[in-house]
Amino acid sequence: MQNSTTYIKPVVNKIYFSKVASLNMRANYALELQKTIYEKTAYPSNKGGFEKAFLEYLDTDSKVLKFIKILEFKHDFATISYFRDDGLMASYYPDFMVETDLHVHLVETKSDKDLKDVNVKQKQRATLDFVRRINSLDEELREGKTWSYLLLGETQFYSLQKSGADIDDIARSAKMNESTFSGSLFDT
């Protein structure tokens, strides 16, 4: 019988967003931004006003060092697996990754009507588990940053923006954590 436990240090294989050298997009629905790696960043042409406003906000907030709009068909490596409400496994791509001096925030922007959607809740559970695992890594493997997951509703964002909030204020308001949920992964 063995009485000792062997700890194996995790191996982190980093894949950089710059691996995707360029993005195709409609010029009418693209912004030239400074704090992202791409010359232009697309936003949805159908009901994309909220995402456009958030992109512009991120680019002007002095606490934001850099950010990226995650595009599922180009950044297929930035996926989080989750179980949909019908029990099937699916892939989820948070809308944004935002870096500050101390944090990396995975941000999902949602219209107010979609905040309580069952599959949004399932994605939250999976992303919180992902963030917990990232934060359990040694500090140097995550470059000294604490990761978090933010679910940002449209009314919430515009209210915070109007009050002059910075990304730290938004993070305090929109941060999701395990206490947000009760029950198991398959509860709806």
DSSP string, the chain: --------PPP-----GGGS------GGGEE--SSSSSS-EE--SSS-HHHHHHHHHHHH-TT--EEEE--TTT-TTS-EEEE-TTS-EEEE--SEEEE-SSEEEEEEEE-GGGTT-HHHHHHHHHHHHHHHHHHTS-GGGGTTPEEEEEEEEHHHHHHHHHTT--HHHHHHHHEE-GGG--S-TT--
pLDDT in tens, 71-101: 998 999 999 999 999 999 999 999 999 999 9
Mean pLDDT, residues 139-157 taken together: 95
Mean pLDDT for 26-36 is 92
Looking at residue 179, its pLDDT comes to 65
Query: Six-digit token pair at 178?
Result: 């395990």
Between 42-46, 74-78, 122-126, 141-145, the lowest mean confidence (pLDDT) is in 42-46
Report field, pTM of the whole predicted structure over 0.85 = yes
pLDDT(43) > 80? yes
123 pLDDT tier (thresholds 50, 70, 90): very high
The pLDDT value given to residue 27: 85
CB hemisphere CA count around 144 (13 angstroms): 3
Domain limits of the chain?
24-178
Q: Quick one: pLDDT at residue 2?
A: 62
Per the prediction, the chain carries an average pLDDT of 91
Give residue 5's pLDDT band: very low, low, confident or very high (50, 70, 90). Answer: confident
Q: In the prediction, which pLDDT does 101 show? A: 98
Residue 132: is its pLDDT beyond 90? yes
Nearest to 185 by CA among 99, 108, 114, 123: 123
User: Is the confidence at residue 149, as pLDDT, over 80?
Assistant: yes
Contacts of 143 (CB under 8 A, 6+ apart): none
